[in-house]
Amino acid sequence: MNETLSLLMNHRSIRKFSDKEVTREQLERIIAAGQMASTSSNVQAYSVIAVTDFEQKRALSALSGNQSYIEKCPVFLVWCADLYRLQKVSEAHLGDQPGYADSVENFIVATVDAALAAQNAAIAAESMGLGIVYIGGVRNHIAQFSERLNLPEQVYPVFGMCIGYPDQNPGIRPRLPLEGVLHHGVYDASKTVEAVQAYDDTYTEYMRARSGGKSASAWSQVMAKRLSEPVRLHMMDFLQSKGLMKR
């Protein structure tokens, strides 16, 4: 296994950070590495907001489910799908032609672009000895969160990312068996379900060890609970209010 594969296979989410600062140079290299990710048709439809001010981090934490590591990490990155930039720079060239920045397809392109760039940045950060954790809670109160960051129309926060030097050494969370994820030629529906049976046992043991015996839920049970909860049903109305996903 080479150094890159070793880094990828040892990813852990870090939720406790030391007081050591992340330098401006490190941050810029991390974002530059993110920019080198693949991007659909070179649209580069994303922006990143780096938050280091404690009061701003505290306010954003409160809007994201009071996750304390947002306040305590040296740098909190907010990864945004950004079609505003494309819309504005295209106006002079489009003339009377209609623009379709508000289409579902362009929404998907921008969201995927942001995710690809963010994962590149995550690996870059880990290669420097830093740790990261993604924060989906930025979408809990997404309208207030966006207002706090002064996000214009056609921009929305996809997720946050805490970055800093780890002050913990958590175990590696097991993933689904490869045979349940990798299909050859066509999708094998029976195989993907069968793989979960074995994974449930692995996941149960992992949770039992991680919680000191307090939790031993199977993965399928956890996912069933997740699917039964009406999570962030405000997203469609919010996105359309920002001029996204209209056609």
Residue 223, in any domain of the structure: no
Residue 224, in any domain of the structure: no
pLDDT band at 216 (very low <50, low <70, confident <90, very high): confident
**How confident is the model at residue 98, as a pLDDT?**
86
Residues 6+ apart with CB under 8 A from 64: 70, 135, 137, 138, 140, 141, 145, 160
Answer yes or no: do 58 and 72 share one domain: yes
Answer yes or no: do 127 and 34 share one domain: yes
Q: Distance (Å, rounded) from C-alpha 145 to C-alpha 51?
A: 13
Answer yes or no: do 111 and 156 share one domain: yes
User: The domain that contains 35 carries what CATH number?
Assistant: 3.40.109.10
pLDDT, mean over the chain: 96
Angle between the N-to-C axes of helices 219-227 and 189-210, in degrees from 0 to 180, rounded to the nearest 10: 100
Q: Write down the pTM of the prediction.
A: 0.96
Answer yes or no: do 204 and 127 share one domain: no
Answer yes or no: do 107 and 199 share one domain: no
Answer yes or no: do 39 and 127 share one domain: yes
Average pLDDT over every residue of 97-121: 96
- Longest CA–CA span in the chain (Å) reads 65
Residue 59, in any domain of the structure: yes
Answer yes or no: do 151 and 188 share one domain: no
Neighbours of 208 (CB within 10 A): 14
Is the pLDDT at 47 greater than 90? The verdict is: yes
Q: What's the pLDDT tens digit per position in 114-168?
A: 999 999 999 999 999 999 999 999 999 999 999 999 999 999 999 999 999 999 9
Residue 201, in any domain of the structure: yes
Answer yes or no: do 114 and 192 share one domain: no
Average pLDDT over every residue of 186-211: 92
Residue 246, in any domain of the structure: no
Q: What's the pLDDT tens digit per position in 2-41?
A: 999 999 999 999 999 999 999 999 999 999 999 999 999 9
Residue 225, in any domain of the structure: no
pLDDT band at 96 (very low <50, low <70, confident <90, very high): confident
Residue 221, in any domain of the structure: no
What separation in angstroms does the CA of 18 have from each of 15, 22, 127, 211? Answer: 10, 10, 17, 23
Answer yes or no: do 17 and 61 share one domain: yes
Answer yes or no: do 100 and 201 share one domain: no
Structural domain that includes position 104: 3-172+230-241
Answer yes or no: do 148 and 211 share one domain: no
Neighbours of 231 (CB within 10 A): 12
Residue 247, in any domain of the structure: no
Number of domains observed in the structure of the chain: 2
